[in-house]
Chain A
Amino acid sequence: MRSKVILALGAIGMPLLIRNLYVLMFLVPDDMEQGPVYRIFYYHLPAFLVAAVGYLTAMVSSVMYLVKKDQKYDAIAVSATEVALAFAAVNLVTGMIWGRISWGIWWAWDPRLTWALISWLVYFGYLMLRNAIDDPTERAKNSAVLSIFASASVAITWKAIEWWRTQHPGPVLSIRTGGVQKIDPAMENMLYINWLALLLLGAIFLLVRLRQEEVQREIDALRRYAHAMN
């Protein structure tokens, strides 16, 4: 059943991604100030949105695990976090490349970039913790708790960095206002459609990863069974 869902999503998502790439490279007009490089934005922002959805899913799933103690929530939490990290990495690196041209520097302690980096590190720590715990129940419990901590920290960090940045003015162009001051309707639509495409891709990744978690659990059960048979 799930394989069918994955295939269906893939059938819609992949052509959409490819179509989008074509459109955003050739059909959408150039930005007046930035030139063609701004097109990176069509991946940069949607990737961030998908990552944010992933982080949120992970947090909700972690809370659900602590409440219901059902392993499937743990599987969703780790899958969502991993997928979110992948898309957040896309967000960070595309941001750096875009910034190299727009601001002339690879990195700036701009609120959003800084927050994105910190969030990435915090959730990466979550994956590190999971790798270090062998017992599945311990792992699920402890990582769920860490996930909640991580989410709280990430939420507060957002506010903190915002205030910090108003003290030390960053580069003139910030990501949100960078070049997209007057949003051409064609650009705005492109943004939403690419967001949809990336969201579908994220959903596919999530479902595949989820299935892998279940297979892992089956392997662990079989292993225990094999040992017991000795």
Chain B
Amino acid sequence: MTMLRHAATIAAKDLRSEFRTKESINSTLSFSVVILLLFAFAFDPSPDMIAEFGGGLLWIVFAFAGALIVNRSFARELPNDCIDVLVSSPASGASLFLGKALAAFILLFGIECICLPVFGIFYNVTWWRSLGGLLGVLALGTWAMACTGAFISALTVNLRLRELMLPMLVYPILIPALLPVMMLTNTLLTGQPPPSDFTVWLRLLIGFNIIFTTLSVYLAETILVR
């Protein structure tokens, strides 16, 4: 499909540009590590405490990192009116949005994969017990964040207080995805047996992703065309 091909091209462009300069990756990564450090001081968690809120803690770090990354998604196109060029190109608004969301997803997922061993070291957690499930849940949560974040990024790209408005708008909207992903990550991170209602959470997470991806793709054209 043309739309997917365009989206892939745009995602590739973003990733290529990011890997050349590494400005966003480096700063986000260091920021995440610092936050993990701060949490270690704030809570000084014991293994029992980690079993209770390790997943939540990790996802707060990822949420902050995610805000930084998606903020860049559309903001990087502001200099030289690149965004007008992109919007007027044959690529539809939907594919432009998808490409950005995809690039943000890949970057964020990469950062999360690097944060996991750091988390394991700082907090003494063997996090690889249910690795497959953990990565799957991480991917779902990251897509929710990347998709919603990229959309709100497009919405706020022209605003003066973009860096402030983006997290303020994204986090409350993201709560129905953060809730399940935090719970699931918590369980899978510490190798606990999955709770009896974990399918409910999984369905909620997947449902959120489907609904918001659809909404975003459908409405992307509206907000990007001036």
Report which A residues bind B (CB closer than 8 A). Answer: 66, 118, 121-122, 125, 128-129, 132-133, 138, 141-142, 145-146, 148-150, 152-153, 156-157, 159-161, 163-164, 166-167
Contact = CB atoms under 8 A, between A and B. Distances in A.
A136 to B, nearest CB: 13
B168 A128 contact: yes
Contact of B215 (A121, A149, A159): A149
24 contacts: A66-B222, A128-B168, A129-B155, A129-B156, A129-B165, A129-B169, A132-B156, A132-B160, A138-B226, A142-B155, A146-B152, A146-B155, A148-B215, A152-B211, A153-B212, A156-B204, A156-B211, A157-B176, A159-B176, A160-B179, A163-B197, A163-B204, A166-B197, A167-B183
B155 A150 contact: no
Contacts of A156: 176, 204, 207-208, 211
Contacts of B179: 160-161, 164
B42 interface: no
A118 B175 contact: yes
B222 A153 contact: no
B173 A122 contact: yes
A149 B173 contact: yes
Nearest to B201: A163
For chain B, what secondary structure do more than half of its interface residues adopt (helix, strand, loop), or is it mixed? helix
A160 B165 contact: no
Contacts of B208: 156
Contact of B172 (A132, A133, A153, A167): A153
Interface size class of B (residues with CB under 8 A): 20 to 34
Contacts of B207: 156
Contacts of B159: 129, 132-133
Interface in B155-188: 155-156, 158-161, 165, 168-169, 172-176, 179-180, 183
B82 interface: no
A160 B219 contact: no
B204 A159 contact: yes
A67 to B, nearest CB: 11
Interface of B: 148, 151-152, 155-156, 158-161, 165, 168-169, 172-176, 179-180, 183, 195, 197, 200-201, 204, 207-208, 211-212, 215, 219, 222-223, 226
Contacts of B201: 163
A159 B211 CA distance: 14
A162 B180 CA distance: 12
B176 A121 contact: no
B53 to A, nearest CB: 13
Contacts of A129: 155-156, 159, 165, 169
A212 B172 CA distance: 29
Interface centre among A133, A153, A159 (most CB of B within 10 A): A153
Contacts of A160: 175-176, 179-180, 204
A135 B180 CA distance: 38
Nearest to A122: B172
B184 to A, nearest CB: 12
Which 8 residue pairs spanning A and B have beta carbons closest together? A160-B176, A153-B173, A156-B176, A121-B172, A122-B172, A125-B169, A157-B176, A132-B159
Contact of A146 (B169, B204, B212): B169
A128 B165 contact: yes
Interface centre among A141, A145, A150, A157 (most CB of B within 10 A): A145
Contacts of B152: 146
B65 to A, nearest CB: 21
A138 B157 CA distance: 12
Nearest to B180: A160
